[in-house]
Amino acid sequence: MMKIKTLVAAAAFAVTGSAFASIGSPTATTDGGEMSLHLFSQSAEVTYQLDSGVLFKDFNLAALAKAAPSTTPYTWNTTLDTATDTAFASFLAVAGSASDLSFAFWGGDNSGVTAAARSMVSTVRAGGDASVITNGNMVDSMNQMGNYIAIVNGKQGLVTNGSSYFTQSEGAGHYYVNDKPTMLTKFPIGNDGLVGTSLDVYSFVRSSTSLGGDAIETKIGTFTVSQLNDTQYSVAFSTPAAAVPEPTSMALALVGLGGLGLIARRRRAK
């Protein structure tokens, strides 16, 4: 797994430049999988994968703890740069300015805990109703994630700086190109969105061992991928941020409280 730098003060994680041995799969590790970012274009038939280096269980716990609006939200962000990431450079060289350039972000634990406690985090397609996801959908989608990651990790000789790039011509099985319809049968509300938009991110946990039971969902934040320029893209996740009153608003509030106190004193004096 790729090493990370932890920025405690900002509760943020930044990806380092070291290569990873493999992306932790939700079905192949007792620690739970890792969170991973995926960019793809179906029209250009190309995919890009980034290992965040953050264990799913750590991400999920930190995000759930800040699921309510906070003045110190939990964040994860990075900048994709063709100058430092050869896989991303290769991806953009093929995808170019494709109108269907899309992204998704997910991770889960489908093997390291008891069946009733298995969980996952995923972006949710705009308009998707997270409440319809069942325990069975969770299991099936994490198994599908595991299949995809196995393909990515099986070609790790192409991995550079925690990222990888594949074209559809290399073979079937690339999750967001060839297997996207298959994934939609597992996670029917979809988990992808166009670059330049924001997607809601949900944490799901099984409600019981019954595959037909409804999963328990919690909205934990938003995820955005946006183009900064021709060679750089910004990637950002954040739990809800609470509004911080502006100085002028604070001053007016204090003046108002002072006025109320003066009125109360005058009434007591009478």
Distance, CA of 147 to CA of 135 (rounded, Å): 19
Q: 84-88, 122-126, 149-153, 228-232: which has the minimum mean pLDDT?
A: 149-153
Looking up tokens 């290569």 gives: 19
Asked if residue 115 has pLDDT above 90, the reply is no
Q: How far, in Å, are 4, 28, 243 from residue 24 at the CA level?
A: 14, 7, 36
Count how many domains the chain has. 1
Residue 17 lies in a domain: yes
Residue 255 lies in a domain: no
Residue 251 lies in a domain: no
pLDDT of residue 150: 80
Residue 214 lies in a domain: yes
Determine the average pLDDT of the residues in 102-110: 92
Confidence of residue 260 (pLDDT cuts 50, 70, 90): low
pLDDT of residue 14: 39
pLDDT of residue 243: 82
Q: Which domain holds residue 73?
A: 4-243
Residue 167 lies in a domain: yes
Residue 253 lies in a domain: no
pLDDT of residue 17: 35
Residue 257 lies in a domain: no
Tell me the pLDDT tens digit for each residue of 45-99: 888 989 888 999 999 999 999 999 999 999 999 999 999 999 899 999 999 888 9
Confidence of residue 155 (pLDDT cuts 50, 70, 90): low
HSE, side-chain direction, 13 A CA sphere, residue 202: 21
Residue 50 lies in a domain: yes
Tell me the pLDDT tens digit for each residue of 188-204: 898 999 999 999 999 99
